[in-house]
Amino acid sequence: MITRDRDGGCSDDPRTTPDGAQLAPLHKSAARDRIELPPRNGGCALSSQSFVSHFNTTLESLRKNMARRKEVSTRLIKPTDDRVDVPLLMHYLYHWEARFEEDGVVAVYDEGLPQYLLCDKQSHHIFYAALVMAKPSLRCSLSQEEPPNADVSALIVEGLSGEPDELEALKKLREVMTKRGYKFPHY
């Protein structure tokens, strides 16, 4: 048995606790299956089987979570909503966060083709902001549900107030999306 000293270090004297009390030796089979460290702050020692089980559960959870996320090139992402809400786009441009690129905030549906369909309004506008800022890729969360309107060829601009920042952002967005075959009929 390994014990901890009063200052937190380990003592290899198997017969005493940090308080100096005598301990009974472990049974041989128990010694193989259990790591005995007197716990700090009232915790409990884990058996090696419990630790391995907990570790495997945590690892499996991480794998599932990572499997639902994927690094996707912005060139492969396709909008499914034909509305561009300019105030919302400007909000994401002014308040861009690194988590938009890294944490799977953008939800996409994987069609099985080399393209990914955007799933919700927030995802669309974060995607548009990423295009304006020339971001090459986004870490997206993969949705199981296909978005309802998947065939969009024209984008309708809403809420444009004519501010210079808005016009500049829309100019960049229009350049990128026009190259991809999208039209802006009312802008």
Are 106 and 127 within 8 A, CB to CB?
yes
Cα of 149 vs its chain's centroid, Å:
26
CATH class of the domain comprising 69-179: alpha beta
Q: What is the rounded CA–CA span in Å between residue 91 and residue 152?
A: 24
Task: Tell me the two tokens of residue 96.
Answer: 């861009």
Tens place of pLDDT for every residue, the chain, 187 residues? 444 445 555 445 555 555 566 655 544 444 444 444 455 555 445 566 666 665 555 545 444 444 588 899 999 999 999 999 999 999 999 999 999 998 889 999 988 888 899 999 999 999 999 999 999 999 999 998 888 877 889 999 999 999 999 999 999 999 999 999 999 987 6
Residue 113: the pLDDT is 82
Residue 1: the pLDDT is 47
Q: What is the pTM of this model?
A: 0.65
Ranges assigned E (strand) in the chain: 3-4, 10-11, 69-73, 77-78, 83-85, 106-110, 116-118, 137-143, 156-158
Rounded to the nearest 10°, the torsion over CA 88, 92, 95, 98 is 160
In the chain, residues under CATH classification 3.90.1530 are: 69-179
